[in-house]
Amino acid sequence: MKPLHLIYVPGLGDQKIAVQAKLVATWKHHNVSYELCQMNWADGEWAPKLEKILKAIDTAVANGQDVALVGASAGGCAVVTAYAARQDVVTGVVVIAGKVNRPQTVGHGYKSKNPAFWTAINAAQPALASLGPDKRSKILSRRGLLDEVVLPSDNIIAGAVNRVTPSIGHVITIGSQLLLGASSFIKFLRKQQTAPKA
């Protein structure tokens, strides 16, 4: 089995990334390599940000690694879109409290402050539509019991493995999953490594 490399894409407000970076750094204890693909959502357009993720995928594949994507909050729609673009080489995807559905519910403030996110959430819709049942089954989407930012209808992906975690609050759900949930979602990703190729 090839080494597993995880690419983590954070959500809005990732200009301040120190805490998430420390949590992601704990993944080394699960015998995986990882990188944090910072989007700087409030700065610039979506296309270069997507290209950054795709380049990270291509580099890992060229290095002989299996690649998995992990996205939190707005990073959820980003990894779904990147997965659709590289579905033949990406092993699996984890979405944590991710906003992947219902772009029409994104408020004006989010649109104006983070135009790249507005483009990304709209791009996620055709991206999801392009994924067949076998590819959707390689997505694990997790949400908290109660999330004041991302509702269940924003997070549930038809055909994916959708799970509820025992956490309350958007930030707490993300933080607890990056740290305490890593063992189980990495186990899910390793299963995808050994699953028969479609």
The string of pLDDT tens digits covering residues 144-192 is: 999 999 999 999 999 999 999 999 999 999 999 999 999 999 999 999 9
CATH of the domain at 36: 3.40.50.1820
Categorize the per-residue pLDDT at 110 as very low, low, confident or very high, splitting at 50, 70 and 90.
confident
- Tell me if the pTM is above 0.85: yes
Question: How many independent structural domains does the chain possess?
Answer: 1
The share of the chain scoring above pLDDT 90, in percent, equals: 87
Query: Cα 33–72–152 angle (5° rounding)?
Result: 140
Q: What pLDDT is recorded for position 197?
A: 67
Residue span of the structural domain in which 185 resides: 4-194
Q: What is the mean pLDDT of residues 127-135?
A: 96
The string of pLDDT tens digits covering residues 11-59 is: 998 888 999 999 999 999 999 999 999 999 988 899 999 999 999 999 9
Q: What pLDDT is recorded for position 108?
A: 84
Categorize the per-residue pLDDT at 109 as very low, low, confident or very high, splitting at 50, 70 and 90.
confident
d(CA 112, CA 117) in angstroms, rounded, equals 10
Strand order in the sheet with 90-96: 33-36, 4-9, 66-72, 90-96, 139-146, 161-168
